[in-house]
Structure 1
Amino acid sequence: MHDISLISTIALALSAALAFGLLAKRVGLSPIVGYLVAGVLIGPHTPGVVGDLKIAGQLAEMGVILLMFGVGLHFSLKELLAVRSIAVPGAIGQSAVATLACTGLAVAVGWTWQTGLILGLAVSIASTVVLLRVLMDHGSVNTPEGHASIGWLIVQDIIAVLVLVLLPPLAATAGDGVSLWQTMGIALLKLALLTAIVLLAGARFVPWLLLRVARLRSRELFTLTILVMAICVATVSYVAFGASMALGAFLGGMVVGQSKVSEEAAADLLPMRNVFTVLFFVSVGMLFDYRVLLESPALIAGVLAIVLLVTPLAAFTIVIAGGHSLRTGLTIAGGLAQIGEFSFIVGDMATSLRLLPGTGRNVLVGAAIVSISLNPFIFRGVLSLEPRLAKWPLLARWLAGRGQKLGARANEAMAHRTEDPGAIVVGYGPVGQTVTRLLTEFGINPMIIETNVDAVLELQQRGQQALFGDATRKEILRAAGLESAAYVVVTVPRAEISLRIVQAAREVAPVVRILTRAEYINGSEAFMRAGAAIIRYDEAESAAALAEALLQDIDVPADRIDALVGGIRKELSPARDGRKMEL
C-alpha cells in the first residue's frame, strides 16, 4: 500500500480547520481561533485521531514562507512614512514596554531574564490579520486612526524581522561576551549583503521577468513564477546566508511588490497563501500541550495580562502623550490587544534554537487563542470609552493643548507653500476624500482643512496640502488661501457647522463658488442666504440611492432607472440651485 501520510495529514488538517473555522465564525470569533483549536484536537496531546507532526511542521514552514512573502509584497514604505511620527516611536515604545514586562514576569516565575526577553519579544507583536479584520468590521481601514494602526503593525513586522535575524547568532554564542557581538555583527553583514543582492539585483531582474511572463497570458506560468520566487529566495537565504526562510521570503515579496504586475501577483498567490496559512495555524495548534497551562497558571495569566492590559495601556499612553487624537489612541490600543502569526514564528524559531522552552511556545498558543477570541469584543468596548474619556477635564485639556501644538507646527509648514490652492476642501471624511481625489484627477490643486491633527499630519507627509483648524474661523480660511481659490467644498455633515463655514467663506471671498453638503432639505433657504451656490442634501441623496437599489433589485431597465432616479432628485431639490461645477 502506498504511503499517503502527506495526503492524509493535509486532508485531516484542512477538514478539521474547515469544521472549526466555520464554528468559530458562527459564534462570532475569528476563524484563526477555529484553526488553532482544530490543531489542538488532532495533535498528539489530545485523544483521538492524530496527524503527522513532522509533515505538519514542514507544511507550516511553507505557510510561513508564503505568509511572509505576502507581507513583503504588501509592504509599503510610502504608507509607513506617511504615519512615521506616530507609528515608529509608538511601536518601538510599546514593544519595549511589553518585552520588559514579560521579562519581569519570566524572572518572577523562575526563568532566566534572557529567556524572558525572547518570550517578551514574541508577546509584543500583534497579529496583522486580526487587526485588519477588526478595522474592516468597523469601517476604520481608510481613516487616519486606521492608517496609524496599520503603520504601527508595519513597524512591528520590521522588529519581528530583525529578531529573526538576531536569534541564530544569539543561539550560536549562548549570549556570551565578545563572541556574541562578533557573531551578531557577521549576521548583520550577511543580512546587508542578502538585502543588497535581493533588492538591488532583484529590482532589475524580477520585474523584467514578471512582465514578460505576464505577456505570455498563461496564468499557470505566472503563478508558478511567483511561487518559485517565494520558495527559492527563501531557500537561498537559508542555505547561502544562514538567514531564516521567513526573512528571505519577506525580501522576495518586497522585490515582487516593485513590479508593475504586483497586484496580479498578489491575487494569484492569495488562494495558495490562504491554504498554507491555515495549515500553519493548525500545525501551531498541534504543538500545543494544554497540560502546560495547568502546570504554569501564573505564567499564562501573566502573559494574558500583558497582552490584554499592559500592551493596550502602553500604546494608548504613548499616542496620547504625543498629542494625537483620543480616537487614534483607542483604535490602536484595542487593535493591539492580541497576538498571532508573528508571535508563533518568533516562538517556533526560538524553541528550535533552544532559546525558549516548550512551555513558552505553549503559553504563546494559549494566549493567542484567548486574545484573538476576545479581541473583537475588546475593540468595541475600548472604542465605546471615547465619549466618557472625552469628558475628563484633565485629559481634554491635555489633548487640546498637545493637538494645538502639533497643529501649529503643521500649519507653519503650510505657511511656506509655493503654490496657491485651486479649491478648499473642508473635512476629510469619506466625502472629503472623494472630492479631493476628483479635484486632483482633474488638475485642480486642493487645500484640505481638517480638525483631526493626525489626518493633517498624514496628508502633509504624503505631499498633500492640509491645514489644521476650525474652518468657521476666518483666519483659518485666509491661511488656507481662500482668497485665491476658485471653489470651496464643504463636506462636514452637521448643518449648523456647515452653515457657519459657508457664511465665513462668503465674507472672506465674496466671489468664490461654494459647494456644500447639508443634512435636510428644509435647511436649504438658510444655506442659499449664506451664499452657497450648490447644495447637496443627505436626505435627498439617500432617497435617490434607496430608490435606485430597489429598482435594480426588481429588474427595471437601466435607462428607466436613470430617468426615475433623476426625477426623484429633481423633485426633492429646492427651486433654486446653482449650475454644476465644471471640471
Structure 2
Amino acid sequence: MSNPELVLLFLLAAVVGVPLFNRLGMSPVLAYLAAGLVLGPSVLNLVSDAETLLHFSELGIILMLFVLGLELSPARVIQLKSAIFVLGSGQMLLTMAAFTGVGMAFDLGWKTALVLGAALALSSTAFAVQLLKEHGLLASKRGQDSFAILLFQDMAVVPLMLMLAFLAPGGEETHLAPWYWILGALVGIGLFARFGLARLMEAVVASKVREVLTALALLLVLGSAWMMEELGLSAGMGAFLAGTLLANSSYRHQLHADIEPFKGLLLGLFFMAIGMMLKLDLLWTAPQKVLVAMVLFLVVKVAVLWLLARLWGHGGINALQLAVLLSEGGEFAFVLASQAGNRGLLSPDQQELLVLVVGLSMVLTPWLFGWVKKACNKVQPTEEAPGPAPSNKPRVIVAGFGRFGQIVGRVLAAYRIPFIALDKNATHVSLVRRYGAEVFLGNATEYDLLDQARAHEADILVVAVDDKRDSMAIIALCQARFPHLKLLARAIDRLHAIELKEKGIHKVFRETFNAGLQATHATLMELGIPESEVLDIISKFREHDEKLLDSAVEHLDDEEARIRMVRASRQELAKLLRQDAEL
C-alpha cells in the first residue's frame, strides 16, 4: 500500500473511530487500537508492515514525554508532595515487586518478570482522570490521592526506559559520554531555558509568522532529544528534561498548544500500530492463558492498591474504589512492551499477551468501576464527603492583557479573584510578569491554549484583544467549545460593536465611548450648562445610542440602510433634546 493511501486510512480511522468511541464513553486510545486491529493482519490485512509504522510513530512518544515534563510544574508537585513521593512510590515499587514475583513463579527469567512488572504497574492517566470527572470525585481525597499516584507514574516513565536500556543484552556496557559532557549539556539547557529562551521567543513572535513558532517548539523537543541520544542517554529523557525545564516558563501554554496536535496524531498512529500487532486470535487459541493473565493482573493490582489506600487512611469502601479506578493498564505499557520487544527482553508471544491484557483492562475498567461504585453506595452511601474545590481555579480568563485587559486584571487582583491572562505579545508578557502579574504567552484564538488555561473551569472570559479578527475568532471558538462561559467583549469601534451584538454578545464595551461621554460632560459644564441638565443629556444620549446600536444589528450587511438609519436617528435625538430644553 502506498504512503498516501496509508495516510488516508489513518485519517479516516481517526475521524470515524474516535468520535464513535467517545459517544460510547470509551477512550480514544481504544479507538486507535480497534482501528489498527481492523486494518491489520488479524482482520482486513490492509496494512502488513506494522513494524515500520511503529518505528516512525515512536516520535509521538518523544512528544508525549515533552508534554509530561511541561505539565509537571513545581507548584503542582509541592502541593501533593507527600502523596506523590510516599503513596506514589509505594504503589510503583510494591506493584512491580508483586508482578515480578508472580512472573518468576511462572518460571520467567527475572529480567522478563521485572519488565512485565514495570509495565503492569502503570495505570492510564487519561482513563482515570476522565472517570474521576464523570463521577465528581476529582476534588475528593481519593481523587487527589489517585492523581498523585498517576503523577508519580508519569515521573517514573523516563527511569523505566533507562532501566530497559540497562537490562537489554549488552546494556551493562554503557555507551555514555564522559560525565562532564553530560553535566555541561544539562547546565547548558538549564541556562538557555532561564536566559535565552525568552529572547528567542520574542524574536520569533515579532516575526508574526505563525508557523515559525510551531517550528521552534518542535526544534526544542527534537533538539533536546537528539542531544541526549548523542550523549548516550535516551531521546525520551531529553524531551522530558526539556519539558520540565520549561514547566515554569510563561511560554509553557503556547508551547503545549503548538506541540499537542503533532503529539496527538503521532500517538494515535503509535496505538494504531500496536493494534495492528494485537493478536486477537489468542482469545480462542489460548483462552485459558488470557483468562488467567487477566484475572491475576486485576487481582494483584487491586489488592496492592487497596492495601496502600487503607494504610494511607482511606476507609475500606473508598480504598476499594481507588484500587479499581487505577486497576487498568496504562498507555505507556504499550510503549514499554514495544521497547522491551525491540531490545529482546520480551518474546513476541509475551509481548502479544501483555498488549492484549492491557487493552482488555482498558475496556473493562470503566464498567467495573461504575459497578463497584454503585454497589459501594448501596452499602455505605456517604463514607467520604467531597473535598473543597481547588483554590487556584480561575474564575475569569482575560484574553489580551494590554491597556484594556490590565485594568480588568488589576481590579480582579485587588479583590483576590483568581484569573488567568493571555497575551500573544512576548515582549509585553515579559514586561508585565516583572510586576507579578500571572500572564502567559499565547494566542487565545487557539482551542488548545484556552483548554490549557482551564477555560472549562472558568466562569467568565473577557475578550480584551485589540484586533477585530482575533476578537471575533475567540468569540466563535468559545461559543462552540466552551458554551458555559459568560463572554464580555471589548469593541474597537462601532462596527465591531455591532458585529459582537450580532453574535449574541450583550456585554459589549466600546473603548472610546465612555471617554467620549466624559469629555462631552466636561465640555458642557465648561459652557455653563447646569450639571443636572448635563447628566440628563448624557443619559439620554447613552440610551439613544444603545438602542441605535441594537437596531443596527439587523442591517449589518447593508451599509446604505445603516447610513439612512443613522441620519434619521440623529434628527430624532435633536428633536428629543429640543423638547426637553423647552420644558
CA distance in 2, matches of 1:65, 1:556: 43
CA contact (8 A) 1:32 1:281 kept: yes
Match of 2:83 in 1: 86
CA gap of 1:198–1:297, structure 2 versus 1, over 3 A, is farther
Matches within 5 A, 1:563-582: none
Shift of 1:283: 1.0
- 1:190-235 superposed Cα distances (whole Å, 9 cap, x missing partner): 8766544433444433343224323333221111110122122222
Shift of 1:257: 2.7
Match of 1:384 in 2: 374
Match of 1:254 in 2: 244
Q: TM-score, normalised by structure 2?
A: 0.62
CA distance in 2, matches of 1:184, 1:148: 39
Match of 1:375 in 2: 365
Shift of 1:156: 0.8
CA gap of 1:32–1:236, structure 2 versus 1, over 3 A, is same
CA distance in 1, matches of 2:294, 2:125: 18
Per mean C-alpha deviation after superposition, the further-off stretch among 52-61 and 277-286 is 52-61
Match of 2:19 in 1: 22
Q: Give the AA of the match of 1:120.
A: G
Match of 1:345 in 2: 335
CA gap of 1:196–1:256, structure 2 versus 1, over 3 A, is same
Instruction: Give the 3-state SS of the residue equivalent to 1:148 in structure 2.
Output: helix
Match of 2:353 in 1: 363
CA distance in 1, matches of 2:93, 2:255: 35
Instruction: Give the 3-state SS of the residue equivalent to 1:345 in structure 2.
Output: helix
Shift of 1:314: 1.7
CA gap of 1:360–1:186, structure 2 versus 1, over 3 A, is farther
Instruction: Give the 3-state SS of the residue equivalent to 1:222 in structure 2.
Output: helix
Match of 2:491 in 1: none
CA gap of 1:259–1:371, structure 2 versus 1, over 3 A, is same
Shift of 1:343: 0.8
Match of 2:558 in 1: none
CA distance in 1, matches of 2:47, 2:504: 56
Instruction: Give the 3-state SS of the residue equivalent to 1:257 in structure 2.
Output: coil
CA distance in 2, matches of 1:79, 1:123: 26
Instruction: Give the 3-state SS of the residue equivalent to 1:290 in structure 2.
Output: coil
Matches within 5 A, 1:476-487: none
CA gap of 1:190–1:277, structure 2 versus 1, over 3 A, is farther
CA distance in 2, matches of 1:442, 1:352: 57
- Is 2:211 aligned against 1:220? yes
Q: Where does structure 2 lack aligned partners over 5 or more consecutive residues?
A: 396-408, 418-483, 488-501, 508-583
Q: CA RMSD, aligned part only?
A: 4.1
Match of 2:107 in 1: 110
CA distance in 2, matches of 1:262, 1:155: 21
Larger radius of gyration: 2
- 1:516-562 superposed Cα distances (whole Å, 9 cap, x missing partner): xxxxxxxxxxxxxxxxxxxxxxxxxxxxxx9x99xxxx999948xxx
Instruction: Give the 3-state SS of the residue equivalent to 2:344 in structure 1.
Output: coil
Q: Give the AA of the match of 2:80.
A: V
Pairing partner for 1:136 from 114, 127, 133: 133
CA contact (8 A) 2:131 2:366 kept: yes
Shift of 1:377: 1.8
Matches within 5 A, 1:13-52: 13-52=10-49
CA gap of 1:352–1:443, structure 2 versus 1, over 3 A, is same
Pairing partner for 2:73 from 73, 76, 81: 76
Q: Give the AA of the match of 1:237.
A: M
CA gap of 1:373–1:6, structure 2 versus 1, over 3 A, is same
- Is 2:270 aligned against 1:280? yes
Match of 2:2 in 1: 5
- 1:128-187 superposed Cα distances (whole Å, 9 cap, x missing partner): 22222222323444554433322211211222210111221222447xxxxx4x849989
Match of 2:199 in 1: 208
CA distance in 2, matches of 1:276, 1:309: 33
CA contact (8 A) 1:42 1:49 kept: yes
CA gap of 1:121–1:432, structure 2 versus 1, over 3 A, is closer
Instruction: Give the 3-state SS of the residue equivalent to 2:54 in structure 1.
Output: helix
CA distance in 1, matches of 2:37, 2:178: 36
CA gap of 1:200–1:5, structure 2 versus 1, over 3 A, is farther
CA distance in 1, matches of 2:249, 2:505: 42
CA contact (8 A) 1:315 1:333 kept: yes
Shift of 1:125: 0.8
Shift of 1:123: 0.8
Shift of 1:81: 2.4
CA distance in 1, matches of 2:180, 2:3: 38
CA contact (8 A) 2:193 2:245 kept: yes
CA distance in 1, matches of 2:505, 2:170: 74
Shift of 1:266: 1.1
Q: Give the AA of the match of 2:40.
A: G
Q: TM-score, normalised by structure 1?
A: 0.62
CA distance in 1, matches of 2:227, 2:392: 47
Match of 1:121 in 2: 118
CA contact (8 A) 2:17 2:35 kept: yes
CA gap of 1:385–1:211, structure 2 versus 1, over 3 A, is farther
CA gap of 1:82–1:189, structure 2 versus 1, over 3 A, is farther
Per mean C-alpha deviation after superposition, the further-off stretch among 50-59 and 116-125 is 50-59
CA contact (8 A) 1:288 1:362 kept: yes
Shift of 1:19: 3.1
Q: Give the AA of the match of 1:287.
A: M
Question: How many percent of aligned residue pairs carry the same amino acid?
Answer: 25
CA contact (8 A) 1:284 1:344 kept: yes
CA distance in 2, matches of 1:17, 1:372: 19
- 1:401-445 superposed Cα distances (whole Å, 9 cap, x missing partner): xxxxxxxxxxxxxxxxxxxxxxxxx9834799789xx99954679
Q: How many equivalent pairs are there?
A: 417
Shift of 1:254: 2.1
Shift of 1:390: 4.8
Match of 2:388 in 1: 428
Match of 1:99 in 2: 96
- Is 2:166 aligned against 1:169? yes
- 1:433-490 superposed Cα distances (whole Å, 9 cap, x missing partner): 789xx99954679xxxxxxxxxxxxxxxxxxxxxxxxxxxxxxxxxxxxxxxxxxxxx
CA contact (8 A) 2:36 2:271 kept: yes
Q: Give the AA of the match of 1:230.
A: V
- 1:5-31 superposed Cα distances (whole Å, 9 cap, x missing partner): 333222222323433333323333222
Q: Where does structure 1 lack aligned partners over 5 or more consecutive residues?
A: 175-179, 401-425, 446-545, 560-583
CA gap of 1:109–1:164, structure 2 versus 1, over 3 A, is same
Match of 1:301 in 2: 291
